[in-house]
Each structure stands twice: as C-alpha cells, then as structure tokens.
Structure 1
Amino acid sequence: MHNADDSKSPLERYLGATIRELRQSHGLTIAQVAEQAGISRGMLSKIENAQTSTGLDVLNRIAMALGVSMSTLFRNFDVPQGGAQLVKKGAGMEVVRKGTQRGHTYHLLAYDQGPRKLFEPFLITMDDASERFPVFEHPGTEFIHMLKGVIEYRHGQQTYILHPGDTLTFRADIPHGPERLIKTPIQFLSIFVYAQPAAE
C-alpha cells in the first residue's frame, strides 16, 4: 500500500514526529505551541504531519516553545543502525597465551576492532588444579569477574580469594596471575582495557 508520506524526506517525517511527541509529552496543544512560536496552527500541524518543509528559524522557535534545544530535535536522527558483534556460546576464538598449558583455555569474545584495540574480553576456563601458571604483565587495566569455581589470584604482593560473582579490577602492568586453583572447574571473564592516546 502506498503511503502518502513516502515522497517526504526522512528528515521531515522524523522532525514532524519528534515535535508532536515532545508537544504531547509536555501536555501542550497545537494552539499553545503555535502561539509561542509565532506561527499559525495550520503551519504547525503541517510540520507535524510532514506536509511542509520549514527553515531553521521556525524550527528554533518551535524548539523554544517546547522548552528544548535545537539539538534535542535532531538527537535521534540518522543514528547508526548498530554494528554489534554477537559471539554465540562456545563460538569465541580460542587463543593460546604465552606460557599457558593444557587444562587452561582462553576464548576471545570480541575481535576485529580495527587497528587500535580498545579492549579484549576473554572467557577463561581452568580445570587442572596442578597446573603451574606464569606471571602476566601487560598494558592497561584488567577486570575479572568469576563465574564458576574458586581461585586464589595474585596481584603484586596481594592475593585474593575469588568466588562466583566476585569481581577484581587492577592495573595490568603489575605482575599478576592465578596463584592457586581452590575449586575446579574454574571459569571467569577477563577483560583487558587499553588506555587510548589523547586526541590531537
């Protein structure tokens, strides 16, 4: 079925709907907003129904009549559709960390972030209580959230006992790593967050 609005630009339709929504949410009538904005009721009605284009001056007056800024009228226009990366359960890329052995798997849960990594989230599983662990040091901040099991985790001079639901956040350039696996299987989410250079 052909819609009469199809010939109108997406911006006109968007602005009309936004103005109507703001007006109604503020409990204002077309007559009240039109009077405040110094335009006719017919003109405002046409703008709301995307039946006419209007200049920035009139839009600015309508925004002021609604008690919002011009930027508020445009804030949701042309927002990207989204480009979320979904990694289904068990589908993370398995990676081998230097010094880790059997019984210790890392699944990288997000990748292809472009030339500069912002963060790396890993799902780490450990089930060999006798495994010896290397000490890790790397740039950025690390965030660990325990999902299963119990682990004693070292950061610098301190050790922490982590149970399911516990979270540990620390500077990753200080030596850290598992000290002792207390109850296996162990599974935790580990997110490395990298500092970004200041904008030019």
Structure 2
Amino acid sequence: MQNGDDGKHSLERSLGATIRELRQRHGLTIAQVCEQAAISRGMLSKIENAQATAGLDVLNRIAKALGVSMATLFRNYDVPEGGAQLVRKGAGMEVVRRGTKSGHTYHLLAYDQGPRKLFEPFLITIEDAAEKFPVFEHPGTEFIHMLKGVIEYRHGQQTYTLHPGDTLTFQASVPHGPERLIKLPIQFLSIFVYPSPGEE
C-alpha cells in the first residue's frame, strides 16, 4: 500500500513521463506546447521531470495542446502490473490424451491457471489417418477453429465438414469427435471452457 507522499510522487512521475512521451510522439517542442497551453517553459519542464505538481486546469490545457483527452494523461498511472502467459510458437506443452496416437498430437497452449481450470486451449495436429477415433464427452463448452486441412466432425447425431477458417462451438457433454479425415494435414484450435462451480 502506498503512503500519501509515495502515491503523490508516483502520480507526478507518471504524468510527467506520459506528457513527455505524447509531446515527443506528436513532434512538438516544449515551446509549442507551452504556447498552446499558456504556461511557462519552466513549468512544463518541471512537470515533465516530476519536479512540480500541476493543477487540473493546467493539466487540462496541456492535454488540449497535445490533442488528447485528460484521461489519456493518467493512462499509465496505477495500472495493474499484469501477468500474461506467453507461449512461443512450437513451445506448447505436448500432452497425451485419449485418442493420441502416432501422427496425432495435442499441444496445450496455456497452463498453471491455479486450483481450478477455467479453460484449456489445445493446438491439435493430425498428420496420419487414424483407423478409428474415440468419442469424447466432458463438461462445459468446446470451441474449434480450423487452421489447416479438412475434417468431418461429429457432435451428437450431426456431422459438420470443417475447412480452414471455419469454427464450431458446442456443448461438450454431448458425445463428439472427429468422424472422417478428408484432407491431411489437419490442424485446429480446440478450446475447452469449463463450467463455473454450481453450473455443472
């Protein structure tokens, strides 16, 4: 938790850095912004270097001189650090699932989500025709997006022919799975979205 002084200095640093970045990005000199905002060069220099606190009226005039909204000046302040998980091309964790066989791979593209899985995104590649595919049933919703090849996919009593760019979304508790491989190699994204507690 920030104390008052630390928070104030952090805000001044954030505002100063944002104003300088916007000014430079728009190719404006300190003199040009000062003229438009009707403030002294010394004042703008101090604001950019977090050596002075600017009132709302001054910040509003600076924002107008920069051609942005006042909210834009605060965009980098108190933003959560973030914790996105990046998985580079080819670096997904290869997993063994029912139906995995030679020429049929599952790469899990996100993992370590905490005690309860919310979703699982797989990159599925089929390079060899398999004799028979298992039928899958699991809780939640499944989303498939075709990347390569052509496949006939069964959901319940219906079959769908999927080409690159096609998507199929369905209740995963209904029996489903590949019915026929039409054009190899086949590659598609398969995302399992699991139900929230109490929805199962």
CA distance in 1, matches of 2:101, 2:17: 59
Q: TM-score, normalised by structure 1?
A: 0.69
> What displacement does 1:47 show?
0.9
- Give the structure 2 partner of residue 3 of structure 1: none
Instruction: Kindly provide the CA deviation profile for residues 134-158 of structure 1, in whole angstroms up to 9, marking residues without a partner as x.
Output: 14343024133232x3210123443
Q: TM-score, normalised by structure 2?
A: 0.69
- Give the structure 2 partner of residue 178 of structure 1: 178
- Give the structure 2 partner of residue 122 of structure 1: 122
Gaps of 5+ in 1: 1-8
Question: How many residues are treated as equivalent by the alignment?
Answer: 177
- Give the structure 2 partner of residue 132 of structure 1: 133
1:133 and 1:179 in contact (8 A); partners too: no
Q: Secondary structure at the match of 1:29?
A: helix
Instruction: Kindly provide the CA deviation profile for residues 87-113 of structure 1, in whole angstroms up to 9, marking residues without a partner as x.
Output: 55165231323xx25344322121001
- Give the structure 2 partner of residue 96 of structure 1: 97
CA distance in 2, matches of 1:196, 1:101: 28
CA distance in 2, matches of 1:128, 1:23: 59
Gaps of 5+ in 2: 1-8
> What displacement does 1:19 show?
2.0
Q: Percent identity?
A: 55
Q: Secondary structure at the match of 2:191?
A: strand
1:87 and 1:109 in contact (8 A); partners too: no
- The structure 2 residue matched to 1:62, chosen from 49, 58, 63, is 58
> What displacement does 1:11 show?
4.7
CA distance in 2, matches of 1:86, 1:15: 33
Distance 1:140 1:53, change over 3 A: farther
1:144 and 1:169 in contact (8 A); partners too: yes
Q: Secondary structure at the match of 1:154?
A: strand
2:156 and 2:175 in contact (8 A); partners too: yes
